[in-house]
Amino acid sequence: MRISIVGAGTWGTALARMTCLRGPEVRLWAREPEVVQSIRSRRVNELFLSDVELPLQIVVTGDFIEAVEGSEIVLLAVPSQHLRGVLEQLAPHVPANAFFVSATKGLEQGTCLRMSEVIGDVAPRFKARVVAISGPTFALEVVKGYPTALAAAGAEQGLAKIVQTEFSTTNFRIYTNDDIIGVELGGAVKNVIAIASGVGAGLGLGHNPLAALVTRGLAEMSRLSEALGGRRDTLSGLAGMGDLLLTSTAPLSRNRTVGYELGRGKPLGEILASMQTVAEGVPTTRATVTLAQKHSVEMPITFQMDRLLRDETTPQEAIHELMSRPLREE
């Protein structure tokens, strides 16, 4: 099958490299002209993945028409807050028999929509033809060939099985799932909890609070998923607990890094300005709080992270508020 990948950041480039190693040519769309040039001339993505040589099967372009012409699978790997704008330009050129795979983790600011919902909103003809992939994945480990597992979920299980077949390798294992709500919410909200975990590390609080934040954070994620029509058990799997553990504990995690620097007292604006790639948890936090309030879901960790990111509290005060809440059953 012809596969197109839209978004040549670290994750999109890693997925392109991993996919083409199975044999097929992969079209890779890049927004940045310098990325197109560096891949064409030197076979590396100098801006986002400079240490990895990219096979000739990756055909890079900055043109939407060229990127998706004849494609049967269009994988989206652009930041959540840019997805709508990219889709508005891309969707008219996507072949009618194709389907989308969303590899983006986040919620859209303002609308609070999941990525599959954004796709359906911008391109209604593809509303049911969307598969979301999510799980504990660092791009740098994928390109190194480390064993990786994630979940693929969609309304049409046949499409999820196609994704499973077309993208799985000996080191990249995909499990199918029919709960796209839970898979997408797990991938989005775990970034918020990862920021909280980073705050604890930045404050030097040790391992006890990390374990508590991950455990209670998972409870928040599960409550929200269930309220929106997902299943609690999905959040116990790769797209929930698996991704949460990775993002909350590993130094490679961008969202944990944001929290860590906040815990050390650095202003958010300064932290974000120093990062080359997007920390999806920052915009997702406000959208998550909005969804929680709309559906009357209690999410105290998420609420405190929202206040912290909006400079309405300090890391120390946020931890104190969480520990001072009324005692209750687990």
Q: Do 111 and 143 meet the contact criterion of CB atoms below 8 Å apart?
A: no
Per-residue three-class SS string for 143-195: HCCCCEEEEEEECCHHHHHHHHHHHCECCEEEEEECCHHHHHHHHHHHHHHHH
The set of residues, in sequence order, having a beta carbon less than 8 Å from that of 206 and lying 6+ positions away, is: none
Cα–Cα distance between 179 and 181 in angstroms, integer?
A: 5
Extract the tokens encoding 248.
């909350």
Cα dist from 15 to 26, 27, 233, whole Å: 10, 11, 27
Q: Do 39 and 30 meet the contact criterion of CB atoms below 8 Å apart?
A: yes
Q: Do 318 and 307 meet the contact criterion of CB atoms below 8 Å apart?
A: yes
Extract the tokens encoding 316.
């120390």
Active-site annotation, residues: 190
Chain-centroid distance of CA 230 in Å reads 18
| Helices 207-227, 281-294: inter-axial angle, 10-degree rounding | 50
- With tokens 């059953």, the residue in question is 329
DSSP string, 5-57: EE--SHHHHHHHHHHHTTS--EEEE-S-HHHHHHHHHHSSBTTTBTTS---TT
**59 three-state secondary structure:** strand
Cα–Cα distance between 3 and 197 in angstroms, integer?
A: 36
Cα–Cα distance between 159 and 63 in angstroms, integer?
A: 26
